[in-house]
Structure 1
Amino acid sequence: MELTPFMKSLGLKYPIFQGGMAWVADGKLAAAVSNAGGLGIIGAGNAPGDVVEAEIKTAKSLTDRPFGVNVMLLSPYAEDVVKVILAHQDSIAVVTTGAGNPGKYVADFKAAGIKVIPVVGSVALARMMERVGADAVVAEGMESGGHIGKLTTMALVPQVVDAVKIPVIAAGGIGDGRGMAAAFMLGAQGVQMGTRFLVATESKVHPNYKKAVLKAKDASTMVTGDFAGHPSRVLKNKMAKKYIKLEKAEALKDKPDFAELEELGSGSLRRAVIDGDTATGSFMAGEIAGMVHKEQSAAEILQDVYQQADKLLSGKD
């Protein structure tokens, strides 16, 4: 399977991005993915600039290959994170963005030789990102873990491909070579995976989190936060079920109050990733969690996915 010129420009062996998952995607995981030939991405999330800088330095100490940083633009520290990225432009090949418009940063990133690849959930947003100068977009369907949009990957990707001239990377519901091959047939030039890397040996997530992913079945996820306008896909547990119950109760009120929901959700991802708290943690994972059956190194994950996709697309035995 031949890489496209865009993927070659990133210095990749495999056209596979590792999702920039908050609290999960640290410098160690990003370096492992990059060393294995994919694009490792550090997830800034809501972390302050100095925390993100420490992860960038960790990645730089572990790999001499390009890696990326995901910037959540609604974070109160977004400006500081951008400054940190620009200070380390020698190593950072890509910035992916979410939760906002990166337009005001695009010129500075490009001047630093950093490619800008926003995550989008609609054709309208993809077109907007193309207009502000994005180099590519990640079209992410609602099958993904964490914060989601309204369209499925199968419906979203080909429509985005038809709507923009820049490269499209498919994400959401992709966990093996079959998903990657399907994404290529839909017109994508690469894929982004998050859930599969949750159980990478280099992933720092708590053993309870990894165990929950490995035990997941096809219907093990649910969407919380839909009523409040911030839908997020998570594995079913006590916290998620309590959240849904409270949401439904608030929906029946004339004047909904989100205070209790905000309190319940505050810090829940950290409690899952770091503490492994199965009762009050938010175990974000995509619908392909039911396809993840073993813990592997980042290198093994990349090789397995790529080889299966290559076999399917080339017709090799």
Structure 2
Amino acid sequence: MKITKSSFVFLAASSLAVFGLAGCEQKKSEPVASVVNTSSSTSVVNACGVAPAGELVAERIPGANSTRAEPSLYEGPVWIKDALYFSDFLTSGTFPSRIQKLDANGVMTTLIDDSGSNGLAVDAQGNLVAGAHKFKNLSRYTLSGERTSVIDKFEGNVFNSPNDLAIAKDGTIYFTDPAYQTAAAPGGQDKTRVYRVATDGKISVVDDTINNPNGVSLSLDEKTLYVEGGDAQGVLRAYPIVDGIPQAGKDLVTGLVIPDGMALDCHGNIYITEHAAKHVRVVTPEGKQIATINVDANITNAAFGGEDGKTLFLTGAGAVWKLKLDVSGSPY
């Protein structure tokens, strides 16, 4: 509802991510990874590090527990410089939302009190780009809280409740528009869709056959678009991108339990959050499951961050979890 949520977005301002995504990009041209046998599994090893394997458990960050009196969801985690930013919205009424900042010491403060946001991404200028159900559009926020609109309508109508988004290196935006927070404001679309926003602002439909499309990301080489959705009959669908245009998609993983957001590591493995299952399913780019990461509440999204980019942060029902890994990954 996250990265590049995501894909890797190699930002022009490299200071946005202290762990240096450009370094990961260079490693993709290195020799093919070797394979080593461990006592419990076969793990992929190269300069990127060891991919996770087996059953793992992420731990809560105590300072990030919700301070709201009503149930809320955290969404759209994104790591910028030395902090994690995410949306924090109520699950009823008009879904009022704010953007929180969680610093490296685990202290949470409110950055924007009334953002109306869900999924977040970062543009090349270091601004937050949000799927904003309050405005039924994509909105851009500076870190000082100033908002502008990115895209407002499709075929004359506002969107349902823009959810997750991914930004390519050239500025092309892909986003999902399910119906989860349609009641936040009047109007909407006749279908739930996946959209592409070209650099000239022209919007087109990628797919309108997934019920409530949710998480969206780009592969490391930006030659594949990944989209999750389908609620209880959830899928991860992969769309080859040819000359910048996504082609017909193919289901890479089926049988997901309410898939939500996702992130990618530097091997290209995909970290799929399954909302009601309370876990992350880690799969290879070919769709083979290699690990499961468990949490203790409903989960929404994922992002890599921390000093070296090797901490996986997970958001969910009024909580943020973390898990130290041997691989770095996408900051949203």
**When the two structures are superposed, what TM-score results if normalisation uses the length of structure 2?**
0.31
More helix by share: 1
Instruction: For CA contacts below 8 A with separation 6 or more, give which structure has more relative contact order.
Output: 2
More strand by share: 2
